[in-house]
Amino acid sequence: MTRSQWALAAVVAVVMAVAVCGGVALARHAGRSSAVPDACPRHWEDEGIGGWVPAGPDVDGADESLVPGSPVRALICAYPGVNTDPGGERLGGSRTLTDQAAAMARDLAYLPVTTGEVEHVCTLAGGPMTNYLVRFAYADGSALWVGSAEEVNSCVTTTNGEARTSSYVGTALTAAYRGGTWRMPRPDDPCRGGGDRRGQEDAMVPEEPDWVLVCLDGGEKWPPRREHGAAAARRLAAVLDDLDTVPSGHGCQGGGPEADDREYRLVFGYAEGPPAGVRVAYGCTPGVDNGMLQADVGDDVRRLMARLTP
């Protein structure tokens, strides 16, 4: 073989090696994507209410957000049943959202999440229940599932297979499935709002709020409240964030008949996204709870709250 023939053979070998390596990379990517089914499973293959997906996510950041990035399509699969005998529900129907997918993904991405277990304190009313799977598809061909449910006790785990939350989205999912429009419900009175915001798994009040609404929760339909601007909101947030926290057990121990039993709902607002909610109960230990974290009230909280309460 001549020198030119050897050179040509070497070039061909390199090209073939590159092609083979490229083929392996594409095959790996194709295999990873095919692990996320592109159609609704025929059955809900779990015994839980929400909290299940048929395949792990194929999207970066899925351990930090329920729906990272910007999906272009959302396939909603519905599995109706009853909460007294959950598991194995048959597919009842599906709906595909396109122009609503980005808003749906944004709202779910704002929810606080954990990769650990989600604890619930649930009422036990029996009634109808619908498990939901939502397949979010992205322009690059990747996808992820989110599993959740609508249930009379609002006691649901929502997950993408890695991140999970106890924040309830069942009502919004049912409305989107039935009517084709996604919208997170908002309360008539902000003092009654859920106040679940991304970051509350790490801090009692995440980021820098623009205002805070301090509501005295005494059982009234429209409880007394005072609204304060950014300066007061951020001072209060800083004091709450300085507390020693533990994962929320969604409950507290009463302080006895002589205890101060005042209870407040704090709603911290932001320029974008949902509010962050914190409950402060003086007669309980631990008395500060944001749904993900709990802490004791502390003297600094009491002193600042005394100037801000209605």
pLDDT one-digit tens code per residue, 194-208? 788 999 999 999 999
CB 96 within 8 Å of CB 38: no
pTM of the model: 0.82
What are the tens digits of pLDDT across the range 102-120? 999 999 999 999 887 776 6
Q: Are 220 and 268 in contact (CB under 8 A)?
A: no
* Residue 26 pLDDT: 25
Give the pLDDT band of residue 3 (cuts 50, 70, 90). Answer: very low
Residue ranges covered by each domain of the chain: 73-179, 190-308
pLDDT per residue over 11-36, tens digit each? Answer: 333 333 333 333 222 222 333 334 57
Q: 180: number of CA atoms within 13 Å, CB side?
A: 5
223: which 2 tokens? 């409880």
